[in-house]
Amino acid sequence: MATTQVAEREKAAIAASRVNSSHATKPGTYPGKPARGQTEAFGAAGAAPPASRHGSHRLVTALLVIVVGLLAWGLFQGVLGLALRVAEYVAVALLSGWVGYRAGHWRGRREPRER
Compute mean pLDDT per 10 residues along the chain, 115 residues long, and list them. Answer: 76 68 53 58 57 76 96 96 97 95 77 64
Residue 109 lies in domain? 64-115
CB 61 within 8 A of CB 68: no
Q: What pLDDT score does 13 carry?
A: 75
Q: What pLDDT score does 42 carry?
A: 53
d(CA 35, CA 24): 13
pTM: 0.39
Q: What are phi and psi of 45, to 5 degrees?
A: -60, 135
Q: What pLDDT score does 44 carry?
A: 55
Within-domain flag for 40: no
Q: What pLDDT score does 53 carry?
A: 60
Q: What pLDDT score does 26 carry?
A: 56
Within-domain flag for 88: yes
d(CA 86, CA 92): 10
Q: How many folded domains does the chain comprise?
A: 1
Within-domain flag for 21: no
Q: What pLDDT score does 80 carry?
A: 96
Within-domain flag for 26: no
Angle, alpha carbons 48-51-57 (nearest 5°) = 170
d(CA 85, CA 112): 42
